[in-house]
């Protein structure tokens, strides 16, 4: 079974009707719009490596702490990341692996464009 087939089997209740497709496209556009920000994309890339607190995320993306907190709030509100208390710290994580793979693929495309690499499947 290919990874493409496995991915399709993981979601047997795909929405194929025209109305559902319009909703899926709308939601996908909103997710991609959130990721179309350098700081948020850097945060998502770092969270793809595992849970992290604000201090770690600030160091990883190089943005000011207040900015990182605001971006994390947007990502939480959109349901892309989760937050949990660990003592006095708040630890953030990606909601699910699809987001990690989406960010990884976007960065892979960037690598191909920057390095003039040949296309492949």
When the pLDDT of each residue in the chain is averaged and rounded to a whole number, the result is 88
Q: Report CA Rg, the chain.
A: 16
In this prediction, residues 36-58 reach a mean pLDDT of 97
Helices 97-115 and 38-47: crossing angle in degrees, nearest 10, is 120
What pLDDT does 63 receive?
A: 96
What pLDDT does 72 receive?
A: 98
What pLDDT does 60 receive?
A: 95
What pLDDT does 5 receive?
A: 43
Helical residues (DSSP H) of 1-121, grouped into ranges: 3-10, 18-35, 38-47, 54-61, 65-77, 97-115
pTM given for the model: 0.81
């Amino acid at each position: 079974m290919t990874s493409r087939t496995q991915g399709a089997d993981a979601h047997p209740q795909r929405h194929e009707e025209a109305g559902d497709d319009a909703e899926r496209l709308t939601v996908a556009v909103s997710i991609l719009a959130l990721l179309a920000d350098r700081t948020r994309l850097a945060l998502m890339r770092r969270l793809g490596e595992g849970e992290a607190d604000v201090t770690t995320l600030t160091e990883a993306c190089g943005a000011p702490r207040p900015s990182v907190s605001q971006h994390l709030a947007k990502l939480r509100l959109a349901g892309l990341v989760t937050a949990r208390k660990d003592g006095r710290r708040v630890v953030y994580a990606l909601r699910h692996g699809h987001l990690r793979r989406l960010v990884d693929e976007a960065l892979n495309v960037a690598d191909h464009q920057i390095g003039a690499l040949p296309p492949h499947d």
